[in-house]
Structure 1
């Protein structure tokens, strides 16, 4: 856990300021499957500064029971400042999921790849209430359809030790299928393509908030930033860049024997 914690400590303020938020359509899909007649228990694992909880509260409001779990105390401190109604727990999902009661929703946003995924999914399956939801969210830079992002990935792969643009290429659908194979469960996948206009300087700031860039800076110093500035200058128009994203939701909804139909 210490190694993972050190990846994110010191990056929290930049992370929260610059990281792209998730499309509302992903949260609307999650919201559709949640009970509407009572207060809910919602657990965000690998919560960072609570970006996913922000998106959820736009639809659900603040009255529910929110718990955020993260291994970085720096992330938690920033999260507490903006989301004081959330119960923040320091540690890993593997440590805390067995003692958080019976949540209605467990969400992992931009964090699931860092976890012991099989263990976390087994804990989620065992702890979720009937008709509970396990949701995995991620924003991926769409390097296949964006020349700037493709060159940015090339730069990271050249200068950030051990980095690969494929570091999140896991079959989450299959992993969810395996974990919930003995449950009556509904499986849902949603992909959304969208673009974000961002000032070039803001993109550089967002880059500095990433662990991959911090490793590049440790290995090569400001050489990385100078090359990134040249790349930004090449592709920006009116001092802005167009960044393409593919946002994904992988979700499973526990069902009773008669609950396989979408209401």
Structure 2
């Protein structure tokens, strides 16, 4: 199944229930761009524009925004939210390789793992102006800090074909550093921990917008979502579950 097929049809619940990005990490990106009088930003793998919700105000009204995603449904939803953004449907790598305008910021929020990562990093470096920034953002469920999330990951690993909770366990800073540092660039990482409270119904809806869950649903039908609901109800307090997150920012500056 292609990345496009994974996300087509999930845009409404994806947009409504997915977590947003910590404002402190978005401010760190904006601070790095302070030397520029004008900023053109490209959100790659933009989905429905969840990162744009925070990035647009963080950068201010003078910034110009472009966004690309492989899913037409995601782009349609994003265009409804942000008609002022220039949207495109297609692979991020190809979009960056074909840019013919100066770019100060490239963002990959919850999307880097879906890319052809080596090709993507090379394309981002080539597209950025000197001093420009590639910002890779991730909201990671911290299953090590939550019995509920540990049990939820175990449920996914048992019922979603091919899924492992460690699917993003690769050294992102090393990968990006190997591309940006040889030409005088720099890479740093920032981490923010926070907790989100969600009602049982909302968690089940968020879960259903996940490609991993959709694989389990394709195999087992709605019975899998009933398993998710039952697990939530087991751990819920006052009708809600607490979700600890570990959000990461990998900030790469072109030399």
TM-score of the pair, normalised by structure 1 = 0.94
Structure 1 residues 106-115 or 174-183, which shifts more? 174-183
Shift of 1:181: 3.1
- Identify if the C-alpha distance between structure 1 residues 250 and 30 changes in structure 2 by more than 3 Å, giving closer, same or farther: same
In structure 1, the partner of 2:76 is 77
CA distance in structure 2 between the aligned counterparts of 1:127 and 1:151, rounded to whole angstroms: 42
Structure 1 residues 207-216 or 28-37, which shifts more? 28-37
Specify every segment of 5 or more residues in structure 2 that has no aligned partner in the other structure, as ranges: none
In structure 1, the partner of 2:23 is 24
Matched residue SS, 2:178: helix
CA distance in structure 1 between the aligned counterparts of 2:170 and 2:183, rounded to whole angstroms: 22
Q: Does the CA-based 8 Å contact 1:193-1:244 persist in structure 2?
A: yes
CA distance in structure 2 between the aligned counterparts of 1:71 and 1:197, rounded to whole angstroms: 30
Matched residue SS, 1:131: strand
In structure 2, the partner of 1:259 is none
RMSD: 1.2
Give the alignment of 1:1-263 within 5 angstroms.
3-35=2-34, 38-100=37-99, 101-255=101-255
CA distance in structure 2 between the aligned counterparts of 1:62 and 1:203, rounded to whole angstroms: 34
Shift of 1:37: 5.1
Q: Does the CA-based 8 Å contact 1:136-1:250 persist in structure 2?
A: yes
CA distance in structure 2 between the aligned counterparts of 1:186 and 1:73, rounded to whole angstroms: 34
CA distance in structure 2 between the aligned counterparts of 1:226 and 1:96, rounded to whole angstroms: 40
CA distance in structure 2 between the aligned counterparts of 1:37 and 1:3, rounded to whole angstroms: 37
Shift of 1:186: 2.2
Shift of 1:102: 2.3
CA distance in structure 2 between the aligned counterparts of 1:37 and 1:72, rounded to whole angstroms: 32
In structure 2, the partner of 1:261 is none
Structure 1 residues 60-69 or 198-207, which shifts more? 60-69
Shift of 1:36: 5.2
In structure 2, the partner of 1:260 is none
Number of residue-to-residue matches in the alignment: 254
TM-score of the pair, normalised by structure 2 = 0.97
Q: Does the CA-based 8 Å contact 1:62-1:85 persist in structure 2?
A: no
CA distance in structure 1 between the aligned counterparts of 2:226 and 2:98, rounded to whole angstroms: 47
Superposed CA offset, 1:162-205 (max 9, x none): 00001111111111111123221122101111100111110000
Matched residue SS, 1:182: helix
Shift of 1:35: 3.2
Matched residue SS, 1:144: helix
Q: Does the CA-based 8 Å contact 2:140-2:245 persist in structure 1?
A: yes
Q: Does the CA-based 8 Å contact 1:70-1:76 persist in structure 2?
A: yes
